[in-house]
């Protein structure tokens, strides 16, 4: 294993000799849900440090990639962390080695921790000032009350202030011991990666925690003294890996932001209730979360919620029209294809769909599953979502 890697890391190469760039995405099967109960945000802080602490020679991994003209970033999710870079193919060997070194052997110091913690506080403050961000945390908190899936990924500022250098080092030890994969999309494989085993490999099943059921009905009070608000409607959906998930993906397309969607026609074409809205679904170990996010006037929020509920009720009763179902299936398929056409997005897609190299995945198999979604499956999914739909809003009003 290169550079002292202790994790069961695998390699997923996607070789395309036409490319002149190499995209690297290191995915780790660990996320914010694995933070200690009193250290929410530790994983997110660790992600920042891995990318920003100086390496031998003085510059951080991020700075070194940028000085080569490349681009790099990282992200922490509930169940996964991604570290990625896109560089000229001639620099891929160097950058692949740097990425492994930054991930496996970062030089954490108390000064670096304090500095980056302040940066994270600024990031959290920016997110807290954006109701479109805050409302998404709120709906997960409502769907998974008292559960790690319901905690904000970025963490709690008070808990982050208590994170010590020892906490960071312990979190890093756990991180490099978690299953991981390095996805490479480029014209050739960097030689430094030749020793990594290829393909996906089953990992030990992580613990599944019982999650209390969310409360029924709406959990929102409209901020009638505000000019604008963000409404997020959400319901639990099937867990990651469930054969039922494609129907919920297509249901999200039916109520998505495309001009061909049912929601677009209702919100924009018929009633002019919103300019910005979207729908999506994501699966986790215990359950998924299906969501619709709508920006609107607080005075129109009741009508927005009624519109979404009405569309779900109609789909539950009658199913989608054949042409609407065909369009939604095609959009879900094209979303995947478009990601595979952009090398860095392709790398991130493979990393995500394989759950950091622990599950087999292919574009053809997912596409086939989406194409096979029936009107009956949409009726069932819509009825399930409609029966358990929660409503959150930010900013909040007072009851």
Cβ(224)–Cβ(56) under 8 Å? no
Arithmetic mean of pLDDT, 341-364: 96
Arithmetic mean of pLDDT, 184-202: 94
Q: How far is the CA of 76 from the CAs of 30, 105, 147, 273, 373, in angstroms? A: 9, 19, 18, 33, 31
Low-confidence winner among 6-15, 99-108, 224-233 (lowest mean pLDDT): 6-15
Cβ(279)–Cβ(293) under 8 Å? yes
Domains 2-193 and 229-394 share a fold: yes
Rounded to 5°, the CA angle 280-276-78 comes to 35
Confidence of residue 7 (pLDDT cuts 50, 70, 90): low
Rounded to 5°, the CA angle 89-92-97 comes to 180
**Domain 2-193 belongs to what topology?**
Cytochrome Bc1 Complex; Chain A, domain 1 (3.30.830)
Which sequence spans correspond to the domains of the chain? 2-193, 229-394
Q: What would the pLDDT profile of 50-83 be if each residue is shown by its tens digit?
A: 999 999 878 999 999 999 999 999 999 999 999 9
Q: What would the pLDDT profile of 109-145 be if each residue is shown by its tens digit?
A: 999 999 999 999 999 999 999 999 999 999 999 999 9
Quote the pTM value. Answer: 0.94
CATH of domain 229-394: 3.30.830.10
Low-confidence winner among 127-131, 218-222, 237-241 (lowest mean pLDDT): 218-222
Phi then psi for residue 71, to 5 deg, are -135, 150
Arithmetic mean of pLDDT, 299-311: 96
């Amino acid at each position: 294993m290169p550079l002292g890697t202790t994790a069961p890391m695998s390699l997923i190469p996607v070789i395309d000799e036409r490319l002149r760039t190499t995209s690297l995405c290191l995915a780790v099967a660990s996320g914010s849900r694995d933070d200690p109960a009193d250290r929410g945000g530790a994983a997110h802080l660790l992600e920042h440090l891995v990318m920003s602490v100086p390496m031998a020679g003085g510059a951080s991994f991020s700075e070194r990639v940028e000085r080569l003209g490349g681009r790099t970033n990282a992200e922490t999710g509930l169940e996964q962390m991604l570290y990625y870079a896109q560089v000229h193919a001639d620099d891929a060997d160097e950058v692949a080695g740097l990425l492994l070194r930054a991930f496996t052997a970062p030089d954490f110091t108390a000064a670096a921790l304090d500095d980056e913690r302040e940066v994270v506080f600024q990031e959290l403050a920016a997110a807290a000032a954006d109701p479109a961000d805050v409302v998404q945390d709120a709906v997960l908190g409502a769907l998974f009350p008292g559960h790690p899936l319901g905690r904000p990924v970025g963490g709690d500022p008070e808990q982050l202030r208590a994170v010590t250098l020892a906490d960071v080092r312990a979190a890093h030890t756990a991180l490099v011991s978690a299953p991981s994969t390095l996805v490479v999309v480029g014209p050739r494989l960097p030689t430094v990666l030749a020793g990594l085993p290829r393909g996906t490999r089953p990992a030990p099943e992580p613990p599944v925690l019982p999650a209390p059921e969310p409360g029924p009905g709406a959990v929102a009070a409209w901020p009638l003294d505000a000019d604008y608000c963000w409404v997020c409607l959400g319901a639990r959906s099937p867990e990651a890996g469930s054969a039922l998930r494609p129907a919920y993906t297509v249901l999200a397309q039916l109520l998505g932001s495309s001009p061909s969607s049912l929601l677009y026609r209702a919100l924009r074409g018929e009633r002019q209730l919103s300019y910005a809205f979207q729908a999506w679904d994501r699966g986790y170990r215990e359950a998924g979360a299906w969501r619709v996010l709508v920006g609107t006037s607080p005075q129109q929020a009741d009508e927005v919620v009624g519109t979404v509920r009405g569309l779900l009720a109609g789909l539950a009763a009658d199913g989608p029209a054949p042409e609407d179902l065909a369009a939604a299936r095609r959009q879900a398929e094209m979303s995947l294809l478009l990601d595979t056409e952009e090398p860095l997005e392709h790398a991130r897609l493979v990393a995500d769909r394989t759950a950091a190299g622990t599950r087999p995945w292919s574009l053809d198999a997912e596409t086939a599953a989406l194409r096979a979604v029936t009107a009956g499956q949409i009726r069932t999914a819509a009825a399930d979502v409609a029966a358990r739909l929660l409503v959150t809003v930010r900013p909040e009003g007072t009851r």
